[in-house]
Structure 1
Amino acid sequence: MRNMILAVIGLLLLGCSGGQSSNSTMTVSGVAATGAAVSGTIFLKDSAGHELSMATTDGTFSFDVSALKPPFMLKASWGGKTMYSFAAAAGTANITPLTQMIVAAAASSTDLDAAYQAPSPTTFSTIAANLPAATANLRNSLKPLLASYGADMDPISGKFSANGSGMDGLLDHVAVTSVSGTVSITDRSSGATLFSATASPALANSVSAMNWANDSAAVAQDPDLKVSEAGDGLAVWWSYTGTGYGASVIQARWLNSEQSATQISTATGFAMMPKVAIDGNGNAVVVWMQSDNQLNNVWVNRYVAGSGWGSPKKLTSAVSSATGPSGVPSIAIDAAGNAVIMWNQSDAAVSSHFDVYTSQYSVANNAWSTPAMLSTGTNSAYGYKVVANNSGTAAVIYNQFQRTDGRGGNGDASDIWVATGTTAGGFATRTKVSSSANPIYGQGSLAIDPAGDILAAWIQNNNSGYFDVWASRQPAGGSWEAPKTVANSVTGECYSPEVALDAHGNAFATWEQQLDTEGRQYVAASHYSAASGVWDAPAEISENIGNTYDQHIAVDPSGNATLVWYQIESAAVTVRSAQYLQSSGWGISQLIATMGAAYDGYTVFPVPRVAVNSSGKSIIIWGTGSM
């Protein structure tokens, strides 16, 4: 709306709570704009199908609706384009891309042309009834974006000026599109997707990257992310505080409510690789490794909703002094806040020997248990992850070498083990879930659903000489099923599998797939149906515009998935995402960020992460890694 003269006609409304006016004229007025003022025709229809129209060159409009029957639907038409808004009664009703999103959500349809062309009292009354909730939902979903422009106002009834700030500044810099029932907000200058959601149900299955940017990613080393039930994302990362060894701290930031980060580690030592978990009440636990006299130890800090962060605590001081440095920890939490962490610890007395340890946090006791060894202590163990569901069922996965001299390395035979238990009671049952027929490459992944179904995946050699994705499933209360090959490759290796489950036992597996014949690498995925017990044929998710790396997936309870990765393209390194919807399957990839010249994708690279809550709200961030 640059250089636009904004005129908002004053409203004198009969019968409103503010009192009755002596002037009987009632108007619907506002501004139509998309970032520039609409120069075209504005239409208004009432619920009885009566229509008014007027021309505008500066986007402003006003209709006398004294003789019409509310509610009213509005349409802006210019250059073969249309855009809609709605007014439950006389008053201000702007027409912008955001009002179109609201009306589509209230109507549970992106086909607003049909609603306007064939108006009915039922359709209009439905939109009017849903409009307040749809407006509140959009404002809540876009809160970080609106706040960054000082535009946290009702997009329909709010008033704004054409001065390049506030709502005007927002519309100048973003574009809103609707394709096949999905609405998206993109940055006009970069083309990056800031937000997308389905119009029906209203703004559901949302994916947001609007509260993060490359300047955040530049200081965020190896971030992790979770989304609270309230929809707020908690990002944690490590950042340098100086030069040289021993100068880094752990930072945490609530994305919707905080613009600045909070240091949650001590200021001494080298703190890195944090992991975060959030319980059902918005409390959080962050775990990381931190140097202590050149040896890494496991540290934790808790966030209590309403109180804030506590003091950092070192956990591995309770382990025997005979042990060596700790590895990167993994964490899981239940709905009540009971947590489990897992890490590996080297043995100072045996070369190349590692054991995996666990510790549990009890909400009732407000204390961590003494770290306990989970592996045998004889066979070296590595490659671990812990998961838990809301009810407290927990499981851990790790890789263990078969040789019993305490050592292990590349080329040595190993197995995938899963231990099951609870967040409160630890892990009593250990099961070898892989077949010993072919060598294991490791890279295990684990997922659990609300019922307690557990899914494990790993990389294992096939008879063609390549490493494939294998998986095994344990139904709740049942036994582990025989391993199945998810991806049987005869053209290249599979790497870095990741699995996730929905609330009904259906699953996704995703991995990096090489194609030796074409010399490229792409993101692949397969869907598992709990009803049939079958994995779908692997699908190529990323577009063939460059090699892909570091893919991660988040799945909501309904089975919708969001996948992120980074890609080395011909002109730049990018972060991209794709979404799987139950109604339509995999969509095309979306650009999330284009990295600067310092990122070559090999020595300096983005680190993308995605998380989702039980309502289906996904958030994407990305950080920086280096070699």
Structure 2
Amino acid sequence: MLRQPLPLLTLAIGLSLAACGGGGGGDNDTSNTDTTSNPPAETFTLGGTVTGLVNPGLTLENNGDDSLAVAGNSFVFDTPLSDGGDYAVTVAKPPRHQLCSTDNARGTMAGENVDDIRILCRSWRTDMKIEQGDGPAYDPQVAVDSDGNAIAVWEQHDGMMYSIWANTYTPGTGWGSAETIESGDKTASHPQITFVNDTGKAIAVWQQSDGAHRNIRANTYTPDSGWSTSSVLVEQDDAGDAYNPRITSDGAGHIIAVWYRIVDYSTATIQTNTYSAGSGWDAASLTLASFDISNSNSASSPKRPQIAADGAGNVIAIWRQYDGTRWNIHARTSTFSSGWSTPATLIEHGDDGDALAPQIAFDGDGNAIAVWAQDNASGTDVRYDIQANTYTPDGGWGTATRIEHDNDGNAGFPQIALDHAGHAIAVWVQNEGIHYNIRANTYTQENGWDTATLIEQDDDGDARRPRIAVDGDGHAIAVWHQNDGAHYNIRANTYTPKNGWDTATRIDHGDEGDALAPQIAFDDKGNATAVWYQDDGTRENIRANRFE
């Protein structure tokens, strides 16, 4: 009887402990945790639309690793993103024969699906004739401004003489009507064209006889009034003939022209003149170089000096000059505040053989690259190589370097283009035993020159006269004419920094006759314009194609 109260005491203690949270059923018991208080993070889809896709092969990437092949007009990445996650969509690979740009492609997920990324793919359209004259037309040149306006100029025979003609392209409207832009009754030839600034104003220059001498003349175009009613004389020196002007713009209202003059086939000079918006051409031209060519082959005199400018008033002129033994490449630099440097600088291998066909291009920071062909003078294995030299505002010219290493045959007629970041592409013609082919090499400031590569694969006939242009994203288009066994056609190839060169495609019209001498230029939006002349079975026409 005395032992009965013990169970009651034990029960009381147990209830007390339970009330105080003791035992296994309190806050430390995870077996009853409510998992709905930490739900999984919500995710959203990432996508957009594609415009202009006409060929297969488009591949997009998000954040550099999530890859998506696109074949239609819209896309959605397979991998969703969490709220607050960043995205950056890029074109990993463009479609064949196309280039693509992105819009609205970077951002942060903000609690909803993203479907407004835009991919714009550009392609070659149908070419068209852009002149309406009766006589044969040759030697077209083209320039574009930042808004996509283009002007083409060329020389055309009217039954009596050659005159300078022009036509203008306006986005949304197309090509206008061709018209003559020079005055006088003597033959004019070798036109060049460039835009002055972002207002749409442009200047064309050419060589023209006055009955006694060949002179350099110019005309000005403005969007409101068109071409001036008469051309003006750019140089005033009547001692000898002036030939082959070249022209460039610094983007700040200045135009610089350069040409060469021969006096009695004994003395050659390189001359220049400057145009300023508001005041016109300077009263007198300036001689950059003068040299004796009486002991050299006058047919090899320094035709076509070249000139280039950046957007900050820096200018470089280069030319081929005979020193009594061989032909060299010389250069002079200029700024509008300090004038032209003196003396001219030798920029090529002084111990090698003849150097010829120089070209020059600037990037957006005052850096420039010159390219040319040069006889390597290496005993029995004599051939022309492609050489290059770089210029920086702080260091001046560097040391020339060979940028191709194929010893099968001569290489020549190089062209060079730079984007705003200093990346460059050079193209040239090279004999590889059977045909002339088109080769290219790329340059970056970080790594220098890469290895030259073949950018056309058609062995039916020779490929010649390459030209190159780059846009602001480092994309490039090369054009050239190539024989297919029956005619010369116009071919083009596209380049992207990530994928390199595509395969070449034909961009000209029909098979009536040869298509020759293409030129190409980009606008700031990534559209390009190509022009050339083409035989239609009756005469040579000027034709154009748009890459847009």
TM-score range (shorter-chain normalised) is 0.7 to 0.9
2:322 matched residue in structure 1: 401
1:303 matched residue in structure 2: 221
CA 483–302 in structure 1, closer or farther in 2 if over 3 Å, else same: same
1:573 matched residue in structure 2: 488
1:37 matched residue in structure 2: none
Question: What code does the residue aligned with 1:303 have?
Answer: Y
Map of 1:310-349 to 2, 5 A cutoff? Answer: 310-315=228-233, 318-319=236-237, 321=238, 323-348=239-264
Task: State whether structure 2 residue 99 is matched by structure 1 residue 197.
Answer: yes
Contact 1:241–1:249 (CA<8 Å) still a contact in 2?
no
User: Cα offset for 1:577?
Assistant: 0.2
Question: What code does the residue aligned with 2:527 have?
Answer: K
**Structure with more of its chain in helix, by fraction:** 1
1:384 matched residue in structure 2: 305
CA 183–495 in structure 1, closer or farther in 2 if over 3 Å, else same: closer
Question: 1:231 and 1:203 mapped to 2: Cα distance?
Answer: 19
Normalization by structure 2: what TM-score?
0.73
Question: 2:54 and 2:450 mapped to 1: Cα distance?
Answer: 37
Question: 2:285 and 2:214 mapped to 1: Cα distance?
Answer: 15
CA 275–574 in structure 1, closer or farther in 2 if over 3 Å, else same: same
Question: 1:589 and 1:610 mapped to 2: Cα distance?
Answer: 15
User: Cα offset for 1:265?
Assistant: 0.8
How many residues align? The count is 448
CA 574–275 in structure 1, closer or farther in 2 if over 3 Å, else same: same
User: Cα offset for 1:272?
Assistant: 1.4
Contact 1:287–1:298 (CA<8 Å) still a contact in 2?
yes
User: Cα offset for 1:332?
Assistant: 0.2
2:187 matched residue in structure 1: 270
Secondary structure, aligned partner of 2:395: coil
1:31-72 Cα deviation digits (max 9, x unpaired): xxxxxxxxxxxxxxxxxxxxxxxxxxxxxxxxxxxxxxxxxx
1:623 matched residue in structure 2: 533
1:365 matched residue in structure 2: 279
CA 423–525 in structure 1, closer or farther in 2 if over 3 Å, else same: farther
1:111 matched residue in structure 2: 70
Task: State whether structure 2 residue 387 is matched by structure 1 residue 473.
Answer: no
1:367-418 Cα deviation digits (max 9, x unpaired): 3341111103446744410111122211111011002xxxxxxxx5021011
Task: State whether structure 2 residue 416 is matched by structure 1 residue 495.
Answer: no
User: Which moved further from structure 2: 361-370 or 351-360?
Assistant: 361-370
Question: 1:563 and 1:314 mapped to 2: Cα distance?
Answer: 34
Question: 1:426 and 1:306 mapped to 2: Cα distance?
Answer: 33
Question: 1:216 and 1:207 mapped to 2: Cα distance?
Answer: 26
Secondary structure, aligned partner of 2:403: strand
2:505 matched residue in structure 1: 590
Secondary structure, aligned partner of 1:328: strand
Task: State whether structure 2 residue 363 is matched by structure 1 residue 454.
Answer: no
Contact 1:457–1:472 (CA<8 Å) still a contact in 2?
yes
1:13-32 Cα deviation digits (max 9, x unpaired): xxxxxxxxxxxxxxxxxxxx
Contact 1:250–1:263 (CA<8 Å) still a contact in 2?
yes
CA 206–491 in structure 1, closer or farther in 2 if over 3 Å, else same: same
Question: 1:208 and 1:541 mapped to 2: Cα distance?
Answer: 18
Question: 1:216 and 1:540 mapped to 2: Cα distance?
Answer: 37
Structure 1 unaligned blocks of 5 or more: 1-72, 74-83, 87-96, 123-177, 185-195, 404-411, 600-604
Question: 2:502 and 2:320 mapped to 1: Cα distance?
Answer: 34
Question: 2:437 and 2:201 mapped to 1: Cα distance?
Answer: 37
Question: What code does the residue aligned with 2:271 have?
Answer: Y
Map of 1:193-232 to 2, 5 A cutoff? Answer: 196-198=98-100, 200=102, 202=118, 206=122, 208=124, 210=126, 212-213=128-129, 220-232=137-149
User: Cα offset for 1:203?
Assistant: 5.5
Question: 2:128 and 2:426 mapped to 1: Cα distance?
Answer: 27
User: Cα offset for 1:306?
Assistant: 2.6
CA 461–454 in structure 1, closer or farther in 2 if over 3 Å, else same: same
1:420 matched residue in structure 2: 333
1:312-334 Cα deviation digits (max 9, x unpaired): 43425511x3x211111000012
Question: 2:49 and 2:350 mapped to 1: Cα distance?
Answer: 63
CA 578–183 in structure 1, closer or farther in 2 if over 3 Å, else same: closer
1:238 matched residue in structure 2: 155
CA 325–204 in structure 1, closer or farther in 2 if over 3 Å, else same: farther
User: Cα offset for 1:443?
Assistant: 0.4
CA 318–424 in structure 1, closer or farther in 2 if over 3 Å, else same: farther
Contact 2:250–2:309 (CA<8 Å) still a contact in 1?
yes
User: Cα offset for 1:456?
Assistant: 0.9
User: Cα offset for 1:111?
Assistant: 1.9
Question: 2:170 and 2:59 mapped to 1: Cα distance?
Answer: 25
User: Cα offset for 1:441?
Assistant: 3.5
The one of 341, 357, 378 equivalent to 1:443 is: 357
Question: 2:124 and 2:389 mapped to 1: Cα distance?
Answer: 32
1:293 matched residue in structure 2: 211
Contact 1:183–1:198 (CA<8 Å) still a contact in 2?
no
User: Cα offset for 1:112?
Assistant: 5.6
User: Cα offset for 1:365?
Assistant: 2.2
Secondary structure, aligned partner of 1:375: strand
Contact 2:462–2:482 (CA<8 Å) still a contact in 1?
yes
User: Which moved further from structure 2: 208-217 or 251-260?
Assistant: 208-217
CA 483–181 in structure 1, closer or farther in 2 if over 3 Å, else same: closer
Secondary structure, aligned partner of 1:588: coil
1:544 matched residue in structure 2: 458
1:106-155 Cα deviation digits (max 9, x unpaired): 99976266847989999xxxxxxxxxxxxxxxxxxxxxxxxxxxxxxxxx
CA 121–570 in structure 1, closer or farther in 2 if over 3 Å, else same: same
1:329-363 Cα deviation digits (max 9, x unpaired): 00001212210000011113xx3432110000012
Contact 1:512–1:524 (CA<8 Å) still a contact in 2?
yes
Secondary structure, aligned partner of 1:374: strand
Contact 2:246–2:304 (CA<8 Å) still a contact in 1?
no
2:423 matched residue in structure 1: 506
Question: What code does the residue aligned with 1:494 have?
Answer: A
1:406 matched residue in structure 2: none
Question: What code does the residue aligned with 1:616 have?
Answer: G
2:521 matched residue in structure 1: 611
CA 330–550 in structure 1, closer or farther in 2 if over 3 Å, else same: same
User: Cα offset for 1:550?
Assistant: 0.7
CA 569–308 in structure 1, closer or farther in 2 if over 3 Å, else same: same
Question: What code does the residue aligned with 1:111 have?
Answer: V
Contact 2:144–2:150 (CA<8 Å) still a contact in 1?
yes
CA 500–440 in structure 1, closer or farther in 2 if over 3 Å, else same: same
Question: 2:159 and 2:492 mapped to 1: Cα distance?
Answer: 33
Contact 1:204–1:616 (CA<8 Å) still a contact in 2?
no
**Structure with more of its chain in strand, by fraction:** 2
Question: 2:77 and 2:431 mapped to 1: Cα distance?
Answer: 51
1:469-508 Cα deviation digits (max 9, x unpaired): 0111111221211110111342100010111111122211
CA 466–107 in structure 1, closer or farther in 2 if over 3 Å, else same: closer
Contact 1:250–1:271 (CA<8 Å) still a contact in 2?
no
